[in-house]
Amino acid sequence: MASRGGEPEPKPIKTSLIKSRILNVATPNNYVVNFTPPQAVKTFMEKRGFDPDLMREDIELRCVITTTPGTSFLTHSVSADYHGVVEEIPYRRAYENEIGMTFIVDNNYDTVAFFEAWVDYMSGVGPVKPRDAYKNNPYVNYRMNYYGGKNGYKCDKLFITKFERDNTGFEPIKESRDNKKSMTYTLINAYPKQINSMDLAYGPAEEYLRLAVTFGYSRYVRERTVLKDQEE
């Protein structure tokens, strides 16, 4: 309801309604990451002697930091008829095209081996032991594999699913969260674009070794999902 001057007038709101709106917030620590390398990469990993599916499931659970993808618009400037007025006109949607993920490294270094094998396949190194690949010629150059087709290295989809848990004990919020609504980002044509270096240092072992991987992707799709449907 607006006043005669056009300003909105305050109206009474029940305390329970205020609590349901203020306390019903999302937290950043409930999410799950899922991805599956393409078959050609999995075959490459199997020839190196490990099970890519089993390793992938463990690695997904070790993803301790990530972000949601972002988007923006490319714009061009248009000068209006008025002095000093410049408008920005969007003409194309743009995606960030990369996203970072940080994984805890296991004491068998499977996390490192998994992503190193993936990028080895991308760069054309044969499915031999990494040291043997450069044994005869340490300066040998390998031809990059093609990104698409049956021998491609990009996975069709990488999923980041964000969900919530009820920690408030407030009944309206609990009822809402019992529906298990979630938000899923699907990254199309994802692949490991960069494997970052890991810092090592002497001293007490108070931190876990972490591996930061940057994934490239073409675009993303966001949708509301229900976890119950996914479980079924």
Domain-embedded: residue 117: yes
CB proximity list for 55: less than 8 A, separation 6 or greater = 45, 110, 111, 113, 114
> What pLDDT, on the 0 to 100 scale, is given for residue 35?
92
pLDDT at position 23 over 80: no
**Residue 1 located in a structural domain:** no
Identify which of 193, 211, 180 has the alpha carbon closest to the alpha carbon of residue 59.
Answer: 211
∠ CA(187), CA(190), CA(191), 5° rounding? Answer: 155
Does residue 57 belong to any structural domain of this protein?
yes
**CA-CA distance, 106 to 115, in Å (whole number)?**
13
2 belongs to a structural domain:
no
How far, in Å, CA of 220 to CA of 54, rounded? 26
Least confident of 27-31, 59-63, 178-182, 190-194: 178-182
Q: Is residue 78 part of a domain?
A: no
Q: What is the pLDDT of residue 78?
A: 87
Mean pLDDT, the chain, rounded, equals 82
Three-class SS of residue 59? helix
203: Cβ contacts below 8 Å, ≥ 6 apart: none
What are 98's strand-pairing partners? Answer: 216
Q: Is the pTM value of this prediction over 0.75?
A: yes
Q: How many domains does the chain have?
A: 1
- Is residue 86 in some structural domain? no
pLDDT at 195: 97
Q: How large is the average pLDDT for residues 219-226?
A: 88
Q: If pLDDT is split at 50, 70 and 90, which confidence band does 134 have?
A: low
- In DSSP notation, 74-135 reads EEEEEE-SSTT-EEEEEEEEEE--EEEEEEEPPTT-HHHHHHHHHHHHHTT--SS-HHHHTS
Residue 44: count other Cβ atoms within 10 Å of its Cβ.
Answer: 23
Name the residue range of residue 192's domain.
18-69+99-231
What's the pLDDT tens digit per position in 190-208? 999 999 999 998 888 778 9
Question: Residue 186 falls within a domain, yes or no?
Answer: yes
Domain assignment present for 87: no
Distances (CA, A) of 191 to 3, 52, 153: 56, 15, 7
More confident residue, 164 or 48: 48
Could you tell me which residues are beta bridge partners of residue 125?
A: none
Q: How confident is the model at residue 145 (pLDDT cuts 50, 70, 90)?
A: confident
Tokens describing residue 26:
């999302």
pLDDT at 177: 47
Burial 49-83 (b: 16+ CB within 10 A, else e): eeebeebbeebbebbeebeebeeeeeeeeeeeeee
pLDDT of residue 33: 93
